Amino acid sequence: MASEDATAGRTAAQAVIAALKESPITRASFLRLVAGVLLVIAVGPAFYRWIKGAFDTGGSSTAEYVANDGNRMLPPPAPLPDSAAVVGGGAKGNFRIYTVTEIPSFSSDTWKFAISGLVDKPNAWNWEQFLQMKRTVQVSDFHCVTGWSVYKCTWEGIPLKQLLAAAGVQASAKFVKFYSGDKVYTDALSLSQANGDDIMVAVLMDGKPIPQQLGGPVRLIVPQMYAYKSVKWLQGIELIEKEHMGYWEVRGYDNDAWVGKSNA
């Protein structure tokens, strides 16, 4: 029976990862994507960041994003006491919305999350199962490579190293690859980076579900790296042997995106 359960878990996890690799991008979205990629290649990442900064509108408040959330995730996650009390005092600053695809929306009826690849115990969860996993709360800052920051966000979620430990990372695994539910964006961390104490698979921010435009229902949070590493709409984690270059890294951004040290 245990062997059958393990096989079923691996099959389910592989199916989720496979679905995330099937890009549904439309022709119009593809043309916009190509135009954006050509711009980055032509002018370089630094000048591209300057262009974004020059036309920066200042972003919107978290409350505005929550009010316009297009996700339908039921039941909503119940915040832990520290999260409900917003121990960080509330996010200081406004988020800007950058996306390489049209912003996706999600429903708890169809949403899945999986960890697969070079692990002993691959698994897939639906929304209710995912919410049953043990969560923690942390306060951290959020830095975008384009120059803006949001400080003292109270995040609640599952420590990434907790997920990796439960999955049983195999000796041949060297990197952790992350898949966005937009089915286009990916990124990766080395295994040693991924085991950092403050890296989180987050489901709540400042005591509320993470809204669609900010990468919810689930997003990766890598506080010590620039936000292009904090994959939005996270649905898949895959342990791999060879290094993976993420969406922006293949377009000139640093693979190691340490805040204040990267020249992305």
pLDDT (0 to 100) of residue 31: 56
* Distant-in-sequence, close-in-space partners of 49: CB < 8 Å, separation ≥ 6: 145, 146, 147
110's tokens: 């169809």
Q: Where are the alpha helices (DSSP H) in the chain?
A: 2-20, 27-43, 45-54, 62-67, 81-84, 127-131, 160-167, 191-194
H or E stretch at 151: strand 149-159
- The neighbouring-strand residues paired with 200 are 159, 221
- Give the largest Cα separation in the chain, rounded: 60
Grouped pLDDT means (10 residues each) for the chain, 264 residues:
72 95 64 54 52 54 85 97 97 93 96 98 98 98 95 98 98 98 97 97 97 97 98 98 96 93 68
pTM of the complete model:
0.87
Angle, CA 24 vertex, CA 19 and CA 30 arms, to 5°: 140
pLDDT (0 to 100) of residue 83: 98
pLDDT (0 to 100) of residue 261: 85
113's tokens: 């999350």
- The neighbouring-strand residues paired with 187 are 178
pLDDT (0 to 100) of residue 164: 98
Q: Which residue from 158, 153, 142, 139 is spatially nearest to 223, judged by alpha carbons?
A: 142
pLDDT (0 to 100) of residue 136: 98
Give 46-96 pLDDT, tens digit per residue: 545 544 554 455 666 778 888 889 999 999 999 999 999 999 999 999 999
